[in-house]
Chain A
């Protein structure tokens, strides 16, 4: 990689509502996830509205002219449409130029980093800026273990030439190994399915992630422990902490998983936003690893140049995390349209 592309700015969106694991325990008798609470998408929200707010924040934090954007790439497994672009609606809402390249990625819960990785390659050749958004609110059948941790958020990044970047993207690798799906959603159905074959799922997770991370550390000639902050996408905080025994556990960033939950295709970019906001210092090295069932994983190596300046009118990730309204399980069912009125 010629290291020409970096992160110009980032922006986040997290819905206002939260549900605590105790609400699940009251209803189901147990809670199958190692998280404390999770975000819940509001009734008048979807992945498109969340993407618009995260994208707006990222553009403003980047202090770029939005007419210089050359592409918008969105990753999500929860588009409200099967046929119709998410990116098109978001571009209209943000007032982006009409010759912009629109990319939707929906292949798995790693779609957010697929968008980022593809965007990097295109901007490297084309110049200008790219707006990358992971926005998701995945949904499985209530009562399935998978559903307990499923949450909602969006995270956006503006990429562009490195000479103005707050962080450099120093390397990226992908690994795609077919594991006939342990997690999928059939056409015409609303719910994601997980066959819950734990040993198989764990094998797919570990094998795919280890492959992409090893490829990246080999290319960058760096040891895993030399990264200062690591984010590994997972359903809850157990998966990321189990995988690399040799990695200093304090370096694994888990906060967004523990308090926001599994945000699907937004997960990896949300983790990156949180590390850049809360943790990163000049010259810190960050490893971001995504995972999508099926199975695929992207690993990105990032070197920090500086913190992003705060713009007063743009809420930070910390403000979104602290803005919360707890709801009970009944309201949760209504918001998620799991009780049908017609």
Chain B
């Protein structure tokens, strides 16, 4: 009840509020108030709902049961319905399939009609292809025939050329043989002439010699007569000369006597002069002595006076000293007195100080006076002694004065006597002078006579000399004539030998060679003419064949063009046939597919009929189940009705509340919806308002779309649509034009100019054509050039050049042997690049420029790609980003007076308006652009296609013709250029071949001709080099290979302990002096035997340039005990050995050693048998060739030189020395030994080594001595 009340209340509230809510629904939209009221109603509703839900759960279970029953019923009904639907579906499918089958049959009929048409076309095309194939084969056969004809012609030409080459080779060989034979003939003729000339000369010489032999006897007789006459003249002249000589000798002796007398007189005069001089000197000496005595006397007198003066001085000094002494004595007495007084006072005095001082003073004075007294007394004594000495001295002086007086008197006497002697000597001198004058006059006269006699003798001597010279002359002539006979005979023999060689051998041989050469030359000349005729014939054939070849080549070109055209037609026909067959195959496939489809569908209908029957049965069963389930459902519905009756009032209340809430919600929603709607309306209105203007502005995209479409359409046609046809037209025109241009320009023989060259370089295609033309032309030109270049003139040039090369080669070879060093030096310079052979070219290039260029290309490429991308878009769809920015040119806001009104609406309107405007603009722009683009594209494509079809691609034909003409032109230019180059190159090659051929021959000949001169020149150069080296260096050699031994004794023996000296001669052939100490002699210590050198190394002084020095005592030494003296010594210059001496000589041992039978000294050694061990007694005998004492204490050791002979009984193996203690009657010492022979071989030539040792243990003999052995029984 309460629940009902509450429900009613709630409803009343709800209903009571409804008008107020409704009252808000006017032109304004206030959704916020409605939202508040809805919240209150929702709270009331939740309470009512709680009550209703409790009963609702019970109702729900009843409802579930009913629903389950209903569900089952529905399920069964559904299954039934499904089955029925399936049945209908199957029936519909069958009907549909039947319809489809009927349509497919119609289509098959249509396709078969089309296939029949296509088959007819294919048959037509096959026939066409067959025809084209036949045409092609025919053209190919023609082309093959033409090519074969060209090849055959080329082969013929090659054969002819080969024959020409062979012919030329044969001619060359023949020429060479002719030249060789001519040379041979010329040589033979020259040789023959030369030999004849030689024969003539030899005969003339022989005749001359024979004449000389005849004249020789007469000459000798003449000489004998002349000799006898001269001998008589000489004898007469000798007598005259003897007389003159005797007279001359007498005069010589007379003069000699006079000269001796004169000399005696001169000597006497000189003696007188000497005596006079001596006496005069004596007189002068005496006078001088007297004078000196006077001086001495004067000096002594002076000394005496000085002594007197000094004596007086001393006397006075003594007097004064005595007075002084007396004075000092008195003073001394006074002082003594005073001292005595002071001393006495001092004894009594109390104050002794002053007295003692006084006493001291007095004593000092006393001492001083005593000293003075002593001094005076000493002086006095000294003066007295001096005066005594002076007295003695004075006496001596007086004595000397007396002596001087005596001497002066004596000298005066002597002076008088000498004056007398001088007078006598003067007289003698005068007499001698007179005699001398007389002798001089006699001598002068005798000399004059002698000169006259000598002149006469000279005259006679000259006559004698002339006679002597005449004698010598005659003697020489006689001698000469004596030897001239053998000389003439020898010369005659030599001349006869030469004549025999010339006449018997050389002349027949050369004449035979000449005849052979002439015959051979005639044969070769005939062959040469024949070869020339053949050569001319071959040249004519070659010309004819070359002309034919050109025609064949032209025909071949035409056939090739025809073949190309036929091939093109075949290709096109085959392409069409292929397309038609493909289409027919497609139709056939479609028909087959349709038939298959019909069969499939028939099968499907049959299958569906079975399914329909099954479905009808099932539907019948399901209808029965539906009846049963309907009863169950009715029961469940009744139970539910009871539950519902309880729940419904409560539910109604809750529902009412909920309804009220829902109504409120609905109201609110309506309010919000109204707001939203109004807002949407605003937006919609704004969009609507903006749509028109925006779209209008967007229509501006149509124009660019149209332009772009038209452009793209044209481009599309150009790029895609027409490309194949264009290419075909172009290619066709190109080929035709190209072939014509090639042919015409080749025939016109035009050359490329600079503009064409630039164009070609800039165009890869033209360059390729040009290159192809060059290749073809070069090959053709080459063939012709080779034939033109291979000329005799070129071969001649080659020969000349080769000759020079051969000459240089042989010179170089010869020079290289001596001047290889220079070659290597130059090669080293080249390899060091200093100086370079060719200075390298240096290039500087800026790499950044190359990068910029590359960038430019890539940039263009990128632009091209962009353009290509735009052009490829044929749909006119451009991205939104490419749409120009909106300008809002048509913007008009209609936001004033909006109803209903809300504050947000104006802003929303404007924003929506702008957005809608922009969208409308963009869409309109894109659409108009696309629309116009597509339209324009299609129109432009169609128009271009129509125009192209109408025009027939004349531009392509034109372009193809132009391109073909140009291509052909450049191929022709290339061909012509290549042919020129090939011609030049071929000419060069041909020329080179001829040159090489000639060069090879010339080189061989040049080498051969110049071999000997070059060799001689190289030898001369080498010699000059050698001279130069010698001139500028020291070239020291030993003049003789061995040292010369200089012995102390001349017995030529080297003996023990003998001193030896060696000398040698050194020769400096060089032009430079070997300086001091640079040349040494060094003895090889290892080679020394039997000698001990004083020095093993000797350093020499300088050896002058170009000198020969003979050295003695180069080496010195003493012989030591040994069998021989042997050594080697080297001559060293600057430490380099320049020569070597070797010396070997046996040391003389004066012993004669022999072997004999022991008992028979005169018989040789013997053995009794061989190989049986029986020894026979033999002996070694030693005889002294000098002193017999040499054998004393001598010991001997022997050993068989060949041990296989046998063995001796003692010291055979040990080699010990045994005493030679057995003496023979002739003084020989010997020693016996047994000899056992081991074999017979070698016994007769047996040798034994013998060594002798003296008592000092020195080996004095060491030799191998013959010791033949006989086998005697």
Q: Is chain B found bound to chain A in the same assembly?
A: no
Question: Chain A interface (Cβ within 8 Å of chain B)?
Answer: none
Question: Chain B interface (Cβ within 8 Å of chain A)?
Answer: none
